[in-house]
Chains A and B, each alone.
Chain A
Amino acid sequence: MEVTPKKVQAGLAVLLAALLVTPLVYKRLVRHDTTSTSDNASTALARYGFHFQESAKASGIDFIHKAPTLDVKLKHIMEQVASMGAAVSIVDFDRDGWEDIYVVNSGEGSKNALYRNLGNGMFRDVAEEVGLADVNQAGTGVSMGAVWGDYDNDGYEDVFIYKWGKPELFHNDGGKHFTRVTEEAGLPKWVNANAALWLDYDNDGKLDLFLGGYYSEELDLWHLKTTKIMPNSFEYATNGGRKYLFHNLGGGRFEEVSEKMGISSRRWTLAAVAADLRGTGYPDLFLSNDYGVSELYLNQSGKKFREAGKETGVGYAPKSGMNAAVGDILDNGRETIYVSNISEEGVLVQGNNLWVPKPGGPVDKISYENMANAMGVELGGWSFGAQFGDLNNDGYLDLYLTNGNVSLDQNRSYWYDYSKVAGGNEAIISDAANWPPLDGRSLAGFQHKHVWVNDGAGQFQEVAQMVGVSDIYDGRSVAMADFGNRGVLDVVVASQRAPLLLYRNTVAPGRHWIEFELEGRHTNRSAIGAEVRVFWNGRQQLQEVSGGSGFCAQNQRRLHFGLGSAASVDRVEIRWPGGVTQTIQSPAIDQIHKVQEPS
């Protein structure tokens, strides 16, 4: 058959038409319905193995976050600049065996709350009684988050509160009262921080403290001398706050050693997590940075950190990092890192990152591949806090992500004006005076949250609406804990200018679990950095006690493992921070095990 030019042209026209409809076909093929809600809890239980019921009020929690009001020079973009501060951390501060909730506030003069778990499903705010409420007085800045760790190894968790302002350290006096020890500890006078965590980077048995600045520490955001306070680039900014690493000297004193230890970044850090990512016995440090690339500081046997972001693959492609959480999602004994970023249809599609370690290779040559797209956890809107946890006790870690930036007028968007300056040169973007007024408009507001269920075969399924997560607040901080000692993980979410949410979890019957509460003797008493591997049914899962993860959050220190239908566990291996390993054969399931480091 002769192919005439006309036939060729007709064929090419068909080809062009086919190419044009390809995105529409692709969308139809891959789009999952994430907006429908479950008819009832039993449907969700049958389908996904769990269901949430938001029950903060019913549990005695009536906390509403207040945002700060910064210098009047920022008035035109106030809600955008003052868009952080809602944060939650979990602790059993009085060692009564029930996990409590500490939630920070950010309005000037507002009070933080410590919700003591009464053990009967109810909570009571005791922050005033114990001296942890009134920490946002005018002139001292406002809280951005808190992390708990027993820095003096007296058996009670102390708390470090980081702020846009004066950071504070409180000593826990036997679970009854807290004493402010900031000055004795030698902490800086002012840091505008959104990230902190406890870690024992040199395994000397005393908890050290990392603190990551966001805005420059030279700025008092309430008394600005200049409006040139914004990032000097949307993706390559290097004018953020400095980082601090406080080495615990004992006796309640700390020495700042960041420079000496090789941490000198001035990126805009929004989240940090420490974990032994390479099996060296020392915690590495991962930083998620806004307006730039992430950083991975590899621990050189407690003597130095070496930044290896590019070398390991996590330091390319600058995004808007807002979360850092680790989890063994493939039950293979290796931890992946989840970083949240921004995705807005047609405007900015960064995609979240799920950094999965590549198999093989020598320990010190770890490298990562971003599998967020392949595994289905990439697009989460303006994503903030996220945590891994086995929400349905099937033996695989699921992922809870909250999101939404500024929800004001639902019908008017600030995106166009935001993108206008975001693409501008340093001289323009870094000066808040050049930013168009927000004028009551929303910026990525009213977003639906994401709960991704891990199928264990490398795919996550979005089920938030189906399992009862339907809030559209501007979510910031997520923390998980077993509040009822029932063997299920509940979820607490702190949202900006919104109520604190407590999603109580119900898991389908027949799913087993096991939990471990560790206490160090020679190593730090909080056991932060201790690793637990549970072996069952030919599988293993690794978890590590964390001194802070997610976005401005800290999960319960107790480690929770779902076991599915397994009736027993083969063994449990615990590696304490100093390297001592302990094996427990066939521990009983459906129980909380309290384990002390062997003497």
Chain B
Amino acid sequence: MSRPPSAVGRFFSPDNRYLAPLLITTILLVSQVSFGLLESFSRTALAIATSMLFDLVLGHLMYGRYPNLASAYISGISVGILIRSPEFWPYALCAALSITSKYVLRWKGRHLWNPSNFGISAILLLAPEYVAALSVQWGNNVWPMVIVWVLGAVIVYRVRRFHITFTYVVSFVVLAALRSAITGHPLLSEVAPITGPMYQLFIFFMITDPKTTVKSKWGQCVVVFLVAVVEMILRLAQNIHAPFYALALVGPAAMAIEIWRTSKDAPKVVQTAA
């Protein structure tokens, strides 16, 4: 007879939907307290509040019940960290776009885009005068980065998504070497972006989102490899927001293919008259 999991085991279980929110909150608090990562707490709070409010209202409208807000919280906090603007409205708008996309851009009952990826890509594209993406690093030494990497890696391993993160990181570094060979720029300058906090949120939270990744393990690895490839192409074209746009292009396409294949293979239910 197997022993019941310990409290720690339960906490780090894939079923704990509060694991990811806790991790991202910890990252935010540590980085804010240690070196002041955020533009301001109020802007991030606005993004979180808007995200949760939209999820409550739209979830109730669509399904007649109030959804669990863990996912909306992650979307809101991601928006609050990942975009930079001296104005307040982009934070609210980006969060609203993220959540609304989750309810609108659906096919056969599944949403196609990772919500915050859609919201951030859209706002960067539509309001570049007012919005930029997070582009700074974790303070000015290596330890905060190492802690986040280790903590993030442990957690995605526990929730069985480590292969996604690992595949992406390896792909990025290999493709960075390829970019370096093509452009003649120092390898470290091509690798530099992945050492920043924007990427840590990207690889631990965005590309691993269970709702917007394909189901098979191999499929997930192929998709993130393709994300890295499209990102490389965008980077060679000097696109500053390459990772967001790459995921926004590849992710939904992969989801659409999977949904189409699943529905094609599914047994057809024929209704017969009594």
Q: Are A423 and B137 in contact (CB under 8 A)?
A: yes
- Kindly identify, within residues 183 to 211 of chain B, every residue whose CB is under 8 Å from any CB belonging to chain A: 183, 185-186, 188-193, 195-196, 198
Q: Are B190 and A420 in contact (CB under 8 A)?
A: yes
Q: Are A373 and B87 in contact (CB under 8 A)?
A: yes
- Kindly identify, within residues 230 to 248 of chain A, every residue whose CB is under 8 Å from any CB belonging to chain B: 232-239
Q: Which of A183-191, A214-222, A426-434 contacts B (4 or more CB under 8 A)?
A: A426-434
Q: Is B131 an interface residue (CB 8 A)?
A: yes
Q: Are A426 and B100 in contact (CB under 8 A)?
A: no
Of B96, B122, B129, most buried by chain A (CB within 10 Å of CB) is: B129
Q: Are B126 and A425 in contact (CB under 8 A)?
A: no
Mark interface residues in B84-103 (1 if CB within 8 Å of A CB, else 0). 11110110010011001101
Q: Are B129 and A349 in contact (CB under 8 A)?
A: yes
Name B129's contact: one of A11, A27, A233, A235 (CB within 8 Å): A27
Q: Is A457 an interface residue (CB 8 A)?
A: no
Min Cβ gap B2→A in Å is 43
Q: Is A178 an interface residue (CB 8 A)?
A: no
Q: Is B124 an interface residue (CB 8 A)?
A: yes
Q: Is B170 an interface residue (CB 8 A)?
A: no
Docked pose: A378 CA to B87 CA in angstroms: 10
Q: Which residue in chain B gives the minimum CB-CB distance to A10?
A: B104
Q: Are A26 and B103 in contact (CB under 8 A)?
A: no
Q: Are A318 and B240 in contact (CB under 8 A)?
A: no
Q: Are A423 and B86 in contact (CB under 8 A)?
A: no
Min Cβ gap B196→A in Å is 4
Min Cβ gap B199→A in Å is 8
Q: Are B186 and A426 in contact (CB under 8 A)?
A: no
Min Cβ gap B98→A in Å is 10
Interface size on A, residues (CB 8 A): 61
Which residues on A sit within 8 Å (CB–CB) of B127?
23, 26-27
Q: Are B137 and A234 in contact (CB under 8 A)?
A: yes
Q: Which residue in chain B gives the minimum CB-CB distance to A310?
A: B36
Q: Which residue in chain A gives the minimum CB-CB distance to B98?
A: A19
Q: Is A317 an interface residue (CB 8 A)?
A: yes
Q: Are A428 and B188 in contact (CB under 8 A)?
A: yes
Interface size on B, residues (CB 8 A): 57
Q: Is A138 an interface residue (CB 8 A)?
A: no
Q: Which residue in chain B gives the minimum CB-CB distance to A425?
A: B195
Q: Which residue in chain B gives the minimum CB-CB distance to A433?
A: B186
Docked pose: A421 CA to B176 CA in angstroms: 13
Number of A-B contacts (CB under 8 A): 167
Q: Is B239 an interface residue (CB 8 A)?
A: yes
Name A421's contact: one of B87, B96, B189, B238 (CB within 8 Å): B189
Q: Is A372 an interface residue (CB 8 A)?
A: yes
- Kindly identify, within residues 409 to 442 of chain A, every residue whose CB is under 8 Å from any CB belonging to chain B: 413, 415-417, 419-429, 431, 433-437
Q: Which residue in chain B gives the minimum CB-CB distance to A292?
A: B140
Q: Are A348 and B132 in contact (CB under 8 A)?
A: yes
Min Cβ gap A263→B in Å is 21
Q: Which residue in chain A gives the minimum CB-CB distance to B88?
A: A373
Which residues on B sit within 8 Å (CB–CB) of A417?
185, 189, 238
Q: Are B137 and A424 in contact (CB under 8 A)?
A: yes
Docked pose: A372 CA to B85 CA in angstroms: 13
Given A26-B89, A424-B192, A428-B191: A8 and B36 interface contact (C-beta under 8 Å): no
Q: Is B258 an interface residue (CB 8 A)?
A: no
Name A426's contact: one of B137, B238, B241 (CB within 8 Å): B137
Q: Which residue in chain B gives the minimum CB-CB distance to A435?
A: B189
Q: Is B52 an interface residue (CB 8 A)?
A: no
Q: Is B253 an interface residue (CB 8 A)?
A: no
Q: Are A425 and B142 in contact (CB under 8 A)?
A: yes
Q: Is B22 an interface residue (CB 8 A)?
A: no
Q: Which residue in chain B gives the minimum CB-CB distance to A378?
A: B86
Q: Are B142 and A426 in contact (CB under 8 A)?
A: yes
Q: Is B145 an interface residue (CB 8 A)?
A: yes
Given A351-B86, A373-B86: A346 and B183 interface contact (C-beta under 8 Å): no
Which residues on A sit within 8 Å (CB–CB) of B260?
none
Q: Are A349 and B84 in contact (CB under 8 A)?
A: yes
Docked pose: A552 CA to B35 CA in angstroms: 29
Which residues on A sit within 8 Å (CB–CB) of B196?
423-425
Given A373-B87, A422-B135, A436-B186: A19 and B195 interface contact (C-beta under 8 Å): no
Q: Is A361 an interface residue (CB 8 A)?
A: no
Docked pose: A428 CA to B191 CA in angstroms: 9
Given A423-B192, A428-B188, A436-B185: A233 and B58 interface contact (C-beta under 8 Å): no
Shortest Cβ-Cβ A-B pairs, 6 listed: A424-B192, A346-B128, A351-B86, A233-B140, A416-B238, A23-B127
Q: Could you give 7 example pairs across A and B, Cβ below 8 Å? A: A20-B126, A234-B137, A236-B139, A238-B140, A346-B129, A425-B192, A435-B186
